[in-house]
Amino acid sequence: MIPISGGKMVQRIIALICVSHFCIFLLSCEKSVFTGYLEERKSENYTLNIESMPTNAAVYLNGKNTGHLTPCTLTWLKREKDTLTLKLNLYSDTTFVTYSMSTSGGKYFIDFQANSKNFGKISCATTPSNAVISLDGKRTNLRTPFTLSKLEPGNHVVGYSYPDHRDDSMKVEVAASKISYANILLEDTTQWVSYNTYNSKVLADMVYSVISDRDNNIWIGSINGLSKFDGKNWFTYTQSNSALRTNVINTLTVDKQNRVWIGTTKGFYVIEKGTLIDYSYNLPDQTIVALAEGKDGTMWAAFQGGVCKLKGSAWQVYAITNSGLKDNYPTCIGVDGNNKVWIGSRTFGLSIFDGTTWSYIPTSSMNIAGLEAGVASITISEGGVVWVGTTRPDYDYGRIVYFKNNSWTLYSQSSLNNNYTRFIKTWKDNVVFATKNGIGILGASNEFKFFRRGNSKLWDLGAYQADVDRKGNIWFATALCGAGKVKKILN
């Protein structure tokens, strides 16, 4: 306590704090000082509710992304004037200025679709032109070329239809005030028709087998499963919905009872009345490479281990150890009108079994100079002509020979010579050759045509198997572009 002159005492607190060379003085005010604390005045926030159609527009405040999407409420606004921008993919940005009049804020609704500048266009064109246009599944009765306008931003599906061409469509993204393009080369199906993963329910573009049943259903075996086409509808069989233990379909055939037999890399199956049944029990090997039905209804299969026959529910296996078969790795199999089984080998020519006796025909005994030693494909016509595609053991190429009137003859065509004929099919008096370079057709009048990449409508014609349906259309399986059909070509 320090006395003050004049007899008047005023309390004064003097605090002296010395730290090193610094001193801080805290002095009290005179006795009339306010002894509480002064509360800092808070600025009042206002709120803003923002909605849009469509929703999920990004909200920008004064040029910065708020991280909010419409509909949303901004609660921290402090300024009396703010610039807001809504950004929505494919639409034009919408910017507006807000003024805070009270803490209750305001409400804004932005209809992007009400702004005519937010519409886009699609330019529609086809080859050939004059195709009927459909938009999002609805026929417009407009024809190409034409530009569709006043379209909302987003994805639209444009479809085209033209006589004797496959209907086609494509997804097009439309943006505000911009023109998108939907240009399609329509597939001419006057003669050639493709069936692949893009335009059908074929399960893979690598197809090994195709067959037509007695009801003209088409069965297509691929590396991803089996597809059935009845001319309008598709049905599929895979590991996930059937008894198949693999999706790799190697070969197909149809028996006299209209049952579809399936050879795969993991077993032997049959489809009877829509049900797929596994017949692989007791087979020493599960990789089936070729199938043929005997005249007595016996089903024969060539597999990696020999050949086998199924009579009723019992298998009988023939191998080099228990029969006259020359090779345990056959490539093809066929049955003639006398129920003789012809079996091709990549190395040893032909083995023949008449049910009792085995015989052997090496290609060297056919009296054709320089003929390849192996056999890749075989078929027997209704007239009893045996057609054989030969091959070299280590190379995929060879020539065509046929057996008629107890004599072998070379069938020489430049497109077939030194080609690899994987499959041969006879239909009436026509012969179809499925080769690695294309499809060869020997007509009933002995005219020959060969279709390859470049002179057909399909960009790849490396064929594995071929068949002819009830209407005389040729179906074929290819390595890269699914299955195909040639119309109006056989007599």
Q: What is the mean pLDDT of the chain?
A: 88
Inter-CA distances, 453 with 200, 450, 459, 463, 464, Å: 21, 10, 5, 11, 15
Residue 221's closest CA among 465, 458, 452, 424?
Answer: 465
Predicted TM-score (pTM) of the model is 0.75
Asked if 68 and 78 count as a contact pair (C-beta separation under 8 A), the reply is no
What is the 8-class DSSP label of residue 445? T
Inter-CA distances, 375 with 364, 369, 378, 432, Å: 12, 16, 8, 17
Structural domains for the chain: 46-114 (2.60.40.10), 119-185 (2.60.40.1120), 192-486 (2.130.10.10)
Torsion over CA: 391, 392, 397, 401 (sign): negative
> Cα(450)–Cα(56) distance, rounded to whole angstroms?
58
Q: Return the pLDDT at 411.
A: 95
Asked if 335 and 342 count as a contact pair (C-beta separation under 8 A), the reply is yes
Asked if pLDDT for residue 227 goes beyond 60, the answer is yes
Q: Return the pLDDT at 104.
A: 58
User: CB atoms < 10 A from the CB of 7, how many?
Assistant: 6
* Mean pLDDT calculated for residue range 150-175: 96
Supply φ then ψ for residue 116, to 5 degrees. -60, -25
Residue 198 exposed, middle or buried by CB count within 10 Å (0-12, 13-18, 19+): exposed
- What does the block give as tokens for 16? 């002296």
- Per-residue pLDDT tens digits for 368-412: 998 999 999 999 999 999 999 999 877 778 999 999 999 999 999
Q: How many CA atoms lie within 13 A of 9 on its CB side?
A: 4
DSSP string covering 6-35: TS------EEEEEETTEEEEEE---TT---
Q: Return the pLDDT at 462.
A: 86
> Cα(29)–Cα(6) distance, rounded to whole angstroms?
20
* Mean pLDDT calculated for residue range 42-48: 70
Q: Percentage of residues in the chain with pLDDT exceeding 90?
A: 73
> Cα(299)–Cα(302) distance, rounded to whole angstroms?
10
Single-letter residue type at 137:
G
When mean pLDDT is compared across 8-17, 32-41, 166-175, 214-223, the lowest value belongs to 8-17
Position with higher pLDDT, 147 vs 80 = 147
* Mean pLDDT calculated for residue range 269-289: 91
Inter-CA distances, 448 with 140, 350, 444, Å: 45, 27, 9
Helix (H/G/I), strand (E/B), else coil: 193: strand
Position with higher pLDDT, 281 vs 470 = 470
Confidence of residue 30 (pLDDT cuts 50, 70, 90): very low
Q: Return the pLDDT at 491.
A: 67
Q: Return the pLDDT at 38.
A: 40
Query: For the CA atoms of 284, 289, 292, 297, what is the dihedral angle to 10 degrees?
Result: 30
Single-letter residue type at 454:
G
- What does the block give as tokens for 208? 């090994």
Asked if pLDDT for residue 364 goes beyond 50, the answer is yes
Residue 398 CA to chain centroid, in angstroms?
Answer: 33
Position with higher pLDDT, 39 vs 239 = 239
Asked if pLDDT for residue 22 goes beyond 70, the answer is no
Confidence of residue 19 (pLDDT cuts 50, 70, 90): very low
> Cα(63)–Cα(82) distance, rounded to whole angstroms?
10
Confidence of residue 12 (pLDDT cuts 50, 70, 90): very low
> Which H or E run contains 216?
none
When mean pLDDT is compared across 13-27, 88-102, 107-121, 327-341, the lowest value belongs to 13-27
Q: Return the pLDDT at 29.
A: 39
Asked if pLDDT for residue 424 goes beyond 90, the answer is yes
Q: Return the pLDDT at 397.
A: 85
> Cα(305)–Cα(319) distance, rounded to whole angstroms?
7
Residue 281's closest CA among 243, 321, 335?
Answer: 243
> Cα(224)–Cα(200) distance, rounded to whole angstroms?
14
- What does the block give as tokens for 491? 């007599």
- What does the block give as tokens for 283? 């087979």
Asked if pLDDT for residue 323 goes beyond 70, the answer is yes
Asked if pLDDT for residue 20 goes beyond 50, the answer is no
Q: Return the pLDDT at 5.
A: 41
* Mean pLDDT calculated for residue range 463-491: 91
Helix (H/G/I), strand (E/B), else coil: 112: helix
Asked if 393 and 358 count as a contact pair (C-beta separation under 8 A), the reply is no
Asked if pLDDT for residue 10 goes beyond 70, the answer is no
* Mean pLDDT calculated for residue range 2-23: 36
Q: Return the pLDDT at 21.
A: 36
- Per-residue pLDDT tens digits for 457-476: 666 778 999 999 999 999 99
Asked if pLDDT for residue 116 goes beyond 50, the answer is yes
Helix (H/G/I), strand (E/B), else coil: 116: helix
What is the 8-class DSSP label of residue 114? G
Confidence of residue 313 (pLDDT cuts 50, 70, 90): confident
